[in-house]
Amino acid sequence: MPTERERTQWYFQRYIAHLPAAGEICLFDRSWYNRGGVEHVMGYCTPEEHRRFLQQCPVFERMLVDDGILLRKYWFSVPQKEQYKRFKSRMTDPMRRWKLSPTDLEALPRWEDYSRAKDEMFVHTDIDSARWHVVESADKRKARLNMIHHLLESIPYEHVERPEMTFPKKSSLPSSGYRRTDRSLQSEVPDYAATLSESGTPERYVDREDQGIG
């Protein structure tokens, strides 16, 4: 949420301070497109502020690109049923409950409103110098791999030769007669895991949203 000071600024101003310099990379989650999506749908901005955003955004992004910034915009498209399933699973999973906010729950019945907002946003901001790239995201892991591959393929780079390294054999490592400290003198974390029976040993946590990927 913007601070009271940010509310009085030009909308894009809060993001400018985070833009990268040469040789840097910066990742925005939603970025200034908060105004085109959640702010518009949930009524956090006025219709006039939304209209002005759609008008100014292409101009702002062309300025960034003209000054040498490589701007890549990705839209992760999740089917409605899959989104509902993910949100519902977060309600019952204590490891991922923190991911769910009241705004998320309010957004579920507004699926079509968000879809219309996205369509309108694309009409105004999918420009030649800063295209939107849609990532089909029913499968989270595949979506991430596809996005990473596309991003790396779109950025020019020079191959850097890595120097060869030889890993030393243990027998060749020099010794100076060091002896480890008596462990009884240390304050160590108790071995709680050793007290568990095989049936009581906790299993490795797996994010259920990532399961079922072949």
**Interatomic CA distance for residues 192 and 129, integer angstroms:** 57
Residue 192 has pLDDT above 60, yes or no: yes
Residue 42 has pLDDT above 60, yes or no: yes
The answer to whether residue 82 is domain-embedded is yes
The answer to whether residue 12 is domain-embedded is no
Q: Give the model's pLDDT for residue 198.
A: 62
Tokens read off for 143: 């979506």
Query: How far, rounded to the nearest angstrom, does the alpha carbon of residue 169 sit from its chain's CA centroid?
Result: 41
Higher pLDDT, 152 or 173: 152
The answer to whether residue 205 is domain-embedded is no
The answer to whether residue 33 is domain-embedded is yes
The answer to whether residue 19 is domain-embedded is no
Tokens read off for 145: 């791999």
Number of domains in the chain: 1
Tokens read off for 209: 């949203």
Band of the pLDDT at 158, cuts 50, 70, 90? confident
Q: Which pLDDT tens digit goes with each residue over 77-115?
A: 999 999 999 999 998 888 888 989 998 899 899 999 999
Residue 32 has pLDDT above 90, yes or no: yes
Which residues span the domain enclosing 33?
29-154
Residue 212 has pLDDT above 60, yes or no: no
Beta bridge partners of 73: 132
Which residues of 78-214 form beta strands (DSSP E)? 132-136
What's this model's pTM, rounded to 2 decimal places? 0.76
What average pLDDT does range 58-76 have in this prediction? Answer: 97
59, 44, 57, 58: which is closest to 1 by C-alpha?
Answer: 44
Residue 17 has pLDDT above 50, yes or no: yes
Give me the CATH number covering residue 65.
Answer: 3.40.50.300
The answer to whether residue 186 is domain-embedded is no
The answer to whether residue 177 is domain-embedded is no
Residue 172 has pLDDT above 80, yes or no: no
Tokens read off for 92: 């019952």
The answer to whether residue 22 is domain-embedded is no
3-state secondary structure of 165: coil
Q: Give the model's pLDDT for residue 103.
A: 87
